[in-house]
Chain A
Amino acid sequence: MKNRLKLLRVERGWTQEQLGQALGVSRQAVNALETEKHDPSLDLAYRIAVLFARPVEEIFDNPHA
């Protein structure tokens, strides 16, 4: 799923490891999200949205829209 996760992370100067810790997932999971190798669960997508204080659809493109 296309997303702006890397852009948002880099804007804040965070590493994948740091973002993973903030979200409670592994660095591998963050990397997989950024490289579109993993579509997040609704729960994880909302956690990401809360962390970056943005609506989910501003971070993840809705493939059905």
Chain B
Amino acid sequence: MLALGKSASSAHKRYVLRTMAFMSGYVAVNVAAIFGAFDDIASPAAAWALALTVSAPVVGQIWATLALMRESDEFVRAVVAKQFILASGLAMAVASVWGFGESYADAPHIPAWIIYPLFWACFGLIAPFVKSSN
């Protein structure tokens, strides 16, 4: 979905630029966190502010995907919406199975933010098989 061919629509070009911008922000905040920029944070309010800052680019990227649907023609909108719905369903199913695995089968804990990369992994898995709007 991030490829920009010669025939890419303006909606797709905007999507790629928005995604690159949001992901650059995401990488920058995480690199800063890895190198200890936020190690001195002590108050719960500041900790939540950091959590919101890290997750803001993820929210932005989800918005970019929804904007791609809104700004595309009816065929692209229908196909991306179909892929989005199927990927969401698969990601929720996997997350639910794992969550109950944690509750009942001592599966190792996985943080909830994993749903975002999991969703895109599911999207990548599904997209090659969903090329029709019918």
Nearest chain A residue, comparing its CB with the CB of B9: A26
Number of A residues with CB within 8 Å of any CB on chain B: 16
Cβ-defined contact, B74 with A25, below 8 A: yes
Q: Is the interface of A mostly helix, strand, loop or mixed?
A: loop
A32 to B7, CA, bound (A): 15
Cβ of B14 within 8 Å of any chain A Cβ, yes or no, is: no
User: Which residues from chain A contact B75 at a C-beta distance below 8 Å?
Assistant: 25-26, 28-29, 32-33, 38
**Contact status B132-A32, CB under 8 Å:** yes
Chain A positions near chain B (C-beta within 8 angstroms): 17, 24-29, 32-33, 36-41, 44
Can you name 30 A-B residue pairings with CB atoms under 8 Å?
A17-B7, A25-B73, A25-B74, A25-B75, A26-B7, A26-B72, A26-B73, A26-B75, A26-B76, A27-B7, A28-B7, A28-B76, A29-B73, A29-B74, A29-B75, A29-B76, A32-B75, A32-B133, A36-B134, A37-B132, A37-B134, A38-B74, A38-B75, A38-B78, A38-B132, A38-B133, A38-B134, A39-B133, A40-B74, A41-B74
